[in-house]
Structure 1
Amino acid sequence: MEEFIEYVLQFGDLNQQQIDLITRKGTELDLPKGDYFSEAGKVPRQVGFIVEGVFRICYYNNKGEEITRHFLDENNLMVDYLNFKANTAASEYLQAVTDCRLIVFSKSNWEEISDTIVGFDQIMDKMFQKCLIQKLRKSPEISQDATTRYLEFMETYPSLTNRIPLAFIASYLGVTQQSLSRIRKNIR
């Protein structure tokens, strides 16, 4: 829980009583590799903070192909915010790429924290803005050649290159695994 409190304190100040409330409302969750934190077609019901592990945000295109859109690793907040707030079904999946450990808040506990702590809405807004900016900035430019996209991936996610399956990296870059293998071989 200390990791989450440190994260929140980047966006605003909290007193000890407020920290204690947040600590009581969050629970630890271990999510095995391959399991989903949130699924398309279902209403998101919780907010997660990644303590350990890697997640990917993915969806299926109209051809039924799985597309990885984004990766999240340690010290990141994880929620489909718009659908969480609106109580509407998600269009994407949040899947554990590795075994993961999270701090999780149910919707009711998250709302109780928001209703109880004066100024927490502003802290939440700043946290969610950071998440949105990261999500938008880290998308690969399909107009670039595949080698450039891979080099940018390694720059954007330096710690993930050897932690996640090549199939997910290839999906993120919009290339086949064979193409990715050739690119990796050529830049070594």
Structure 2
Amino acid sequence: MEEFLDFMLQFGHLNQQQMDLITKKAETIELSTDDYFWEAGKPINHVGFTKKGVLRVYYYNNQGEEITRYFIEENLLILYGHDIGSNYVPSEYVQAIEPCELVVFSKKNWRDISETIVGWEAIVQKIVAKQQKEKLERRSPLIEQDAKTRYLGFMQKFPNLVNRIPLSYVASYLGITQSTLSRVRKRIG
């Protein structure tokens, strides 16, 4: 829980009473490798924060191929939109790549926090804006780069993930085949 509070405090002020409320409303869960935090087609009932582990967000394209959109590593908030009250049903999956520990809040508890703590929504909006910007900065250059440049960029942006993510997921994220990725890795040495 300490990690979550420290993360939130980077984006705004919370007093001890507010932090105690947040702590009361939270629970910690563990996901095993391949467990889902949420699944396409099923309503989302919680918000999460990655305390330990890596998850991936993926979907299936029109040809039935699995496409990895991005990775969620430690110290990131997992939200699904601005309106916590909506009955959002995602078209993507969020799956643990390795054993994960998450701080989670039910929709009701998240809403209670939002309605009780003045400034909570402003803190959340700052986090959402930062995470969206980072996601775009990571994805946008991939479109015009060759496979080697994409992989080198991935290693630079995610140095602590390179050896934690299966190559098939890395290849999918980079928009290349696994055999192309293997050739690139051999050339890099």
Q: TM-score, normalised on structure 2?
A: 0.95
Match of 1:26 in 2: 26
SS of residue in 2 equivalent to 1:14: coil
SS of residue in 2 equivalent to 1:33: coil
Q: Which moved more, 1:13-22 or 1:127-136?
A: 127-136
- Deviations along 1:137-188, whole A, 9 cap, x unmatched? 2115222111111111111111000011001001111111111111001012
Shift of the 84–172 alpha-carbon distance from structure 1 to 2, 3 Å rule, reads: farther
Equivalent pair of 1:70/1:172 in contact (CA under 8 Å): yes
Q: Matched residues in 2 for 1:108 and 1:11: separation?
A: 22
Equivalent pair of 1:83/1:90 in contact (CA under 8 Å): no
Q: TM-score, normalised on structure 1?
A: 0.96
In the alignment, structure 1 residue 168 sits paired with structure 2 residue 164? no
Q: Matched residues in 1 for 2:135 and 2:46: separation?
A: 19
For structure 2, list consecutive stretches of 5 or more residues without a partner in the other structure.
none
SS of residue in 1 equivalent to 2:17: helix
Q: Matched residues in 2 for 1:133 and 1:4: separation?
A: 20
- Deviations along 1:65-119, whole A, 9 cap, x unmatched? 0000101111111122257553221111111011000000010000000000111
Query: What aligned pairs does 1:2-151 form with structure 2 within 5 A after superposition?
Result: 2-82=2-82, 84=84, 86-139=86-139, 141-151=142-152
Root-mean-square deviation over aligned CA pairs: 1.3
For structure 1, list consecutive stretches of 5 or more residues without a partner in the other structure.
none
Matched positions, count: 188
Task: Percent identity, please.
Answer: 54
Equivalent pair of 1:25/1:109 in contact (CA under 8 Å): yes
Shift of the 8–118 alpha-carbon distance from structure 1 to 2, 3 Å rule, reads: same
SS of residue in 1 equivalent to 2:47: strand
Q: Which moved more, 1:107-116 or 1:136-145?
A: 136-145
